[in-house]
Amino acid sequence: MFNHLLSRLRRALADSFVGAIALGWLFAQGIFQIVSIFTLPVSSWYQQRRVEQLRAVTVPLGFPYQVAIAPAISGLLLLIAGFLLLRWLYWPSAETGHGGKPAQEETDQ
């Protein structure tokens, strides 16, 4: 029963635009997070420099690499989820043939 429910959900998502929209959203968010890996440390460093200029006492701070950890993890997880959804929805599995129908065993007789 659970396999029947999953196959109906798969067919509904693949036949409508909902699956394609979900894939597009996952990949767009994943790419956005990957780009944030590079932009967040630079913007944090710039903000630290501006605050140091405004304060009377300056504390030497290093380049903030740690702000890139969260976007790296979330971007990686979003891209993995997108590829898994893409594989589940649109690529035929080993049990099915290229047309989405179960593969038939060929006999030599």
Backbone angles phi, psi at 55, to 5 degrees: -85, 155
- Cβ of 27: how many Cβ atoms within 10 Å? 17
Q: How far is CA 22 from CA 32, 82, 96, in A?
A: 15, 8, 24
pLDDT in tens, the chain (109 residues): 888 888 888 888 888 888 899 999 999 999 999 999 999 999 988 888 888 777 776 676 778 888 899 999 999 999 999 999 999 888 876 655 555 555 454 444 4
User: For the chain, how many residues are written?
Assistant: 109
Strand partners, 102: 96
